[in-house]
Chains A and B, each alone.
Chain A
């Protein structure tokens, strides 16, 4: 079946540090891949997406590349800010149906 595995948190970083949150997936076919973010007290927001192999999604300084050979979609940011503190969810969606399959979420805390 389809599944998403992401690194466990919490992750604590100092401001301006480099961020990597690992995400790997198992899926049939060619899924679309997503990163969602939940800031404190808010709903889930789409951060970035990629729909086919080798696509790179990017937004707000975050990037992730769809790697079919390693079934991965790792999230990276070169210099994190305190305002990036949130829970990050990796997710996939197969072409059939509209439901998303999420990972367990990674809590990021950025200290000044």
Chain B
């Protein structure tokens, strides 16, 4: 079974530019989560999709962040325009059932550096 795939693995962009991160969950996993770890701090929840619907987006920091999951398959997280404080590692995870901690699978993350 293929795991959760994220790309790019690294991205360096200038302040004010736009970046789009992509996450391909495990096939058949309806639940998809985005998390972020900034500057060696805790990993923070950003949002949760159930299929193509946003179940919980309480962790999205501001309206410069836009997440989509068209068709309930892969998801994108766009940052526009990027700011220095957006630098960090963005993780994606998927699971088959919402409360199924057994089923969480994380991707390797995208390291975003805004300069």
CB-CB under 8 A from B76, the residues of chain A are none
CB-CB under 8 A from B63, the residues of chain A are none
Report yes or no: B98 in contact with A98, Cβ–Cβ below 8 A. Answer: yes
Report yes or no: B48 in contact with A97, Cβ–Cβ below 8 A. Answer: yes
Indicate if A89 sits at the interface (CB-CB under 8 A). Answer: yes
List residues of B (21-61) whose CB comes within 8 Å of A's CBs.
31, 33, 35, 37, 40-45, 48, 55-56, 59
Report yes or no: B99 in contact with A102, Cβ–Cβ below 8 A. Answer: no
A105 touching B42 in the complex, CB below 8 Å, given contacts A98-B48, A99-B48: yes
Report yes or no: B44 in contact with A102, Cβ–Cβ below 8 A. Answer: yes
**How many angstroms between the C-alpha atoms of A4 and B33 in the bound complex?**
19
Q: Please choose the segment from B12-20, B79-87, B104-112 that sits at the chain A interface, where 4 or more of its residues have CB less than 8 A away.
A: B104-112
List residues of B (90-115) whose CB comes within 8 Å of A's CBs.
91, 93, 95, 98-99, 101, 104, 106-109
**How many angstroms between the C-alpha atoms of A98 and B98 in the bound complex?**
5
Chain A interface residue count, CB cutoff 8 Å, equals: 24
**How many angstroms between the C-alpha atoms of A104 and B35 in the bound complex?**
13
A98 touching B108 in the complex, CB below 8 Å, given contacts A103-B42, A105-B40: no
**How many angstroms between the C-alpha atoms of A42 and B64 in the bound complex?**
28
CB-CB under 8 A from A102, the residues of chain B are 35, 42-44
Indicate if B8 sits at the interface (CB-CB under 8 A). Answer: no
- Least Cβ distance of B57 to chain A in Å? 11
Report yes or no: B31 in contact with A98, Cβ–Cβ below 8 A. Answer: yes
Report yes or no: A98 in contact with B33, Cβ–Cβ below 8 A. Answer: yes
- Least Cβ distance of B106 to chain A in Å? 4
B-contact bits for A1-45, CB 8 A (1 contact / 0 none): 000100000000000000000000000000010101000011111
- Least Cβ distance of B51 to chain A in Å? 13
Report yes or no: B101 in contact with A32, Cβ–Cβ below 8 A. Answer: yes
Report yes or no: A93 in contact with B101, Cβ–Cβ below 8 A. Answer: yes
A98 touching B99 in the complex, CB below 8 Å, given contacts A43-B4, A44-B91, A45-B106: yes
Known: A43-B109, A45-B106. 7 other contacts (CB 8 A): A43-B107, A43-B108, A93-B99, A97-B55, A98-B33, A99-B56, A104-B40
